[in-house]
Amino acid sequence: MANQKKLLVFILTIGVFGILNTEMGVIGILPEIADRFHVSVSSAGWLVSIFAIGVAISGPIMPLLFSRFNRKKVMVFVLSIFVIANLISIFTTSFTVLLIARIIPALCHPVYCSLAFSVAADSVSKEEAPKAVAKVFIGVSAGMVVGVPIVSFIAGISNVQMAMVFFAIINIAVLIATILFVPSIPVKEKISYGKQLNVLKHANTWIAIIIVILINSAIFGVYSYLAEFLQTVTNVSTNITSLMLFIYGAANIIGNILAGRLLIDKPVKTIVALPFLMGATYILLFFAGQFTVPMALITLIWGILAGLAGNINQYVVTTAAEEAPDFANGLFLSACNIGTTIGAAAGGVFISGMGTQYVVLVGLLSLILTAVFILLRNYLNIKQMKGSVNLEN
């Protein structure tokens, strides 16, 4: 039984890697895509934007709609959509068709990821759930950060089609593994759509959503421009920039592993400490980012904190809406994408108005607001606990 659970979590981890890699991997091959389809790089950038918009829109809706169906069947359905979209992307010569092949899986993206988190959490005891979810988050981090340079490398030594083949191979492998090794997972309790939507009436749910938006804005408002920061402020070569990006990605995974234990042992302290630790890291980035060795150490620490933040984001939303886990995970994914979009846009404004070095201010401002809402969350939780104790007495 224990080995079956480990295999299930492993398949889910590779599954979210394949899906996140499909979403983010194209970032590393946008110039090659632009050349292949005879469009500008900015037009090719819509392949990233349209996917993020699709996830943000479908995040709260699609997991809710699919929450009453057998989870294995839903995962097989979503993975099949991704495989078909991957295959179309490999062979199409039309940029319009390529865009459509990105939009459709984007709408299904939150379904698989929300189910992956829910199924991983349900496979263990409630106390051990953060650790199981943290393992799945390793796939998220790898897909978002490590997948980009891998896909870029494949395109560099072959062509853009082979890079897209990589997307397909991962998703096909997970689809086959899901069909063969994942048992049927019927929904234990079919929660009505109305009951799930009721979580939106709680102030804690909205505070959790705002926290996720702000944390992601703080991270991706700066990370989106890390390569530019490294080349214009730190003044390092392209190879060193790639190495720094790998350091950040590997550090994300370390952060995921740490989160599994910290959110079990000291959840409140971990959540409260995050904005202050990341804020201190950004201050160091601002003042020491021009020096290569300190920048490498800062990138390592920043990456660990960012990996930890991803797990915290999921934790604060799902604990605020425990009675609707699939819907809560959909809200989490939507909030992540909204925060990423806002942060990246704000970062661009700061760079154009003040210079690349000042993109750090986006992160600091977002973190100050994050700290305020985290403290508000804690206040409401304490108040709610005291109310429960009084009712019992």
201 lies in the same domain as 186? no
Same domain, 328 and 356: yes
| CA within 13 Å, CB half, 169 | 7
pLDDT class for 385, splitting at 50, 70, 90? Answer: confident
Is residue 393 over pLDDT 60?
Answer: no
Same domain? 170 vs 280: no
Task: State residue 26's pLDDT score.
Answer: 85
Same domain, 27 and 166: yes
Q: Are 154 and 162 in contact (CB under 8 A)?
A: yes
What is the residue whose two structure tokens read 């991962």?
170
**Tell me, what DSSP letter sits at residue 146?**
I
How far is the C-alpha of 353 from the C-alpha of 338, rounded, in Å?
23
Instruction: With cut-offs at 50, 70 and 90, classify the pLDDT of residue 55.
Output: confident
Res 392 pLDDT > 70:
no
Residue for token pair 């996720």 = 212
- Among candidate residues 21, 307, 15, the one with its CA nearest the CA of residue 144: 21
Q: What tokens appear for 323 in the block?
A: 């009675």
Same domain? 318 vs 201: yes
Report pLDDT digits (tens) over 237-250.
Answer: 878 887 888 888 88
Q: Are residues 196 and 344 in the same domain?
A: yes
Q: Of 145, 160, 190, which residue constitutes the final position of a domain? A: 190
Q: Do residue 180 and residue 197 come from a single domain?
A: no
Domain that holds residue 310: 192-393
Same-domain status, 169 and 140: yes
Domain total of the chain: 2
- Do both 25 and 169 map to the same domain? yes
* Average pLDDT of span 198-207: 90
The burial of 20, by beta-carbon neighbours within 10 Å (0-12 exposed, 13-18 middle, 19 or more buried), is given as buried
The answer to whether 89 and 98 are in contact (CB under 8 A) is yes
What's the mean pLDDT in 323-334?
84
Residue 194 CA, distance from chain mean position = 27
Predicted TM-score (pTM) of this structure = 0.82
Q: Decide if 221 contacts 347 (C-beta within 8 A).
A: yes
Ranges of beta strands (E only) in the chain are none
Q: Domain check: are 322 and 307 in the same one? A: yes
- Are residues 281 and 371 located together in one domain of the fold? yes
Specify the CATH number for the domain of residue 164. 1.20.1250.20
Q: How many percent of the chain have pLDDT more than 70?
A: 97
Of 137, 172, 190, which closes a domain? 190
What pLDDT, on the 0 to 100 scale, is given for residue 133?
86
162, 190, 218 — which closes off a domain?
A: 190
Tokens of 213: 């938006």
Is 182 in the same domain as 220?
A: no
